[in-house]
Amino acid sequence: MDEMTFVDKIRKIIKMRHDDVVATMASGAVDNMEKYQYMLGQIRTYQYLSQEISSLLNKKEQNDKERPVINIK
């Protein structure tokens, strides 16, 4: 498995879990404030992880573009 396949799978899992928590909250399954705050923390964590992965990928792409390509034949 190459790096991008791994990253794509992680991103997909994070999105699925984020969407599951949002759906649970939207369906009214939250019956107390502690559970609500916990789930809100989960959503924020999933969003943070997604943003960090995107930032890291953008930095990698920028570094790859900045490196000179030397073709030695």
Looking at residue 47, what is its pLDDT? 97
Query: How confident is the model at residue 73, as a pLDDT?
Result: 55
Q: Which residues contact 46 (CB under 8 A, 6 or more apart)?
A: 14, 15, 17, 18, 21
Is pTM beyond 0.85 here? no
**pLDDT (0 to 100) of residue 4:** 80
Q: How do residues 9-68 score in pLDDT, each as one tens digit?
A: 999 999 999 999 999 999 999 999 999 999 999 999 999 999 999 999 888 766 666 655
Distance of CA 30 to the CA centre of its chain: 24
